[in-house]
Structure 1
């Protein structure tokens, strides 16, 4: 019989969605991270004390663990590391040099090495991803689909470098690539691009995971804010990878797209 679900809750709306869909979930938050859900213990944990986190999860009957929300790489106080975290530190330091994918794989390995099976948010919250098809707006024309193909090709070429999960292409020209600053910053850059430097085609935002990315953590996501930012950037629509991009507030995404006259399309990859 499966045990209890545990949640490491970080910033944003995702942790609350996990709690709503799994009322018995054991929630862990961390000092310095403004999570929007309360920890089950009543007190936030520390990243330097992962041994205590593991102990608390197991005492609560947790055997599955989901990580949800945004997290910048936290500063660690080496003087406060417990023995469990200290033993993991060399692997963590090596992983920090490998980019986000390497870091996340190391973190997954740490928890699974302590008997906690890591699952994805989409595994515990229904309807967070989309099947192939048009989610909102009118079907994109051939030019928009060609721009989407070009953006996907750019992201595929950059995947070995462990860069971002989004790109904007208009008229075959790349207007932006998501980096550490995230999708909103990329779209703000597109918005600020001088009109004389932009082609006549409005352009398309494509969001998809990097090749080989572990989708249990750091799955790409869009929300109503993404749609609104794409509209401000003058784009025609958004193309996402079917089944591999989280939809944060699907009704809100659809409503924002319809209001702005944008399409949202999920494509198999």
Structure 2
């Protein structure tokens, strides 16, 4: 069984969503270093261009909040070749505020569209290439919130729970074709989205964002939070030949904490 390393993904076409920053950007860069032909997808074209200049990734700026957008992403990726790797990382979070009785149905629908509907659409389409080529890797980026509930986060938590359920079903469907589907459940990672969440929490509690991050770090046995590159390394492993025996797994990456 081959160990993961430089150029092991040579020529394989990969889609990485939410690739303009954080975990998605780190993952796209890692897959490029390992030889994959990466289509990096996100809404922010300026940040995507910077990523492309740095890594050579192909880019596609689009919002994944509808099925037509997902179809366009897959069609664009297929211009590079048959799709071999799909990393469903794009996510919407930090928009909810308050308990369930104060939340709106519009907020629920907007969160589900990006966090759960888009991964379904992309997986439905991209997995056909993997099935036909008898090799594929699908990685869902969920969250520790996908296994643990949290107050005032009903849509986000439900979407991340749903992503794990989707993964477990897809894992059965693709297994006969030498393909795998797994999920990564990060804990607190220092990303732009998490920074916005920290600022929002700090404002509500009369703290600074730095104090909120310290609380998050102190809650972990290692007394620190994660870097995007640490999550990308786990995704890179799951996208490799070395992970051929790993299928249907929800891999928590949270420094020994459940949250």
Same fold (TM over 0.5): no
Query: TM-score band (shorter)?
Result: 0.3 to 0.5
Normalization by structure 1: what TM-score?
0.39
Greater fraction helix: 2
Higher relative contact order (CA 8 A, sep 6+): 2
Normalization by structure 2: what TM-score?
0.40
Structure (1 or 2) with the larger CA radius of gyration: 1
